[in-house]
Amino acid sequence: MTGPDDSIPGAPLPQPPQGFWPTVRRDLKLGVIAGLQTFWDLAKVMIPAYGVTLALQQLGVIGWLSDLARPLMSAMGLPGDAAVPLVVGYVLNIYAAVGSMQALHLDARQVTVLAVAILIGHNLIVEGAVLHKAGMNAFAFGALRVVGGLAAAIVANLLIGLVG
């Protein structure tokens, strides 16, 4: 793909195509290339996360983890095995958590509540390193995000229960 990032600094940009159809062809080609690249980037994270979650489920690890996490998960209206995508999202990223969620049988309410917790506290290791480099207390900020995410998920579960 060619673009401003691939060109030599200071070199003039290529002229856009003249006419409607050449512009449509160019934009369609660029859009398809960008879409396929995004698909591949997401698939590289989500498919392994899905596979690992299925493997952990077959090995009984998810059952053990769900028993351990059941009290906290039930406060959020979630089954104990929902702890897996929660931890995956906290440690890795949102896309890996979505891949993990696919291996579980969660309803729309449970996915929404889980998403609230993950969106607040995702990618803690990478973002903690950035915060530490910026001179902040990464552990305290990470703990705040985890507690805030869990509290928000509990509130979301209660609110959905009132409306739904």
pLDDT at residue 73, rounded to an integer: 94
pLDDT at 1 over 80: no
> Higher confidence at residue 49 or residue 26?
26
> Higher confidence at residue 140 or residue 54?
140
User: In sequence order, what are the residues at sequence separation of 6 or more whose Cβ sits closer than 8 angstroms to the Cβ of residue 114?
Assistant: 76, 78, 82, 85, 86, 97, 101, 106, 153
In percent, the amount of the chain with pLDDT more than 70 equals: 95
pLDDT at 4 over 60: no
Q: Which of 61-65, 70-74, 113-117, 151-155 has the lowest mean pLDDT?
A: 61-65
pLDDT at residue 33, rounded to an integer: 93
pLDDT at residue 61, rounded to an integer: 85
Distances in whole angstroms, Cα of residue 80 to Cα of each of 58, 75, 83, 153: 16, 10, 6, 14
Q: Where are the domains of the chain?
A: 20-163
pLDDT at residue 113, rounded to an integer: 97
Average pLDDT, the chain: 88
Distances in whole angstroms, Cα of residue 124 to Cα of each of 138, 149, 151: 9, 12, 17
In this structure, what are the phi and psi dihedrals at residue 105, rounded to the nearest 5 degrees?
-105, 85
Q: What share of the chain is helix, strand, coil (3-state, %, to 5)?
A: 75, 0, 25
pLDDT at residue 139, rounded to an integer: 93
**91-96 long-range contacts, CB within 8 A, separation 24+:** 91/124, 91/125, 92/45, 92/49, 92/123, 93/45, 93/122, 93/123, 93/126, 94/118, 94/119, 94/122, 94/123, 95/42, 95/45, 95/46, 95/49, 96/45, 96/46, 96/48, 96/49
Q: What is the pTM of this model?
A: 0.69
> Do residues 113 and 82 make contact, with C-beta atoms less than 8 angstroms apart?
no
Q: How confident is the model over 7-30, as a mean pLDDT?
A: 83
> Higher confidence at residue 129 or residue 49?
129
pLDDT in tens, 95-153: 889 988 988 889 999 999 999 999 999 989 888 888 888 999 999 999 999 999 999 99
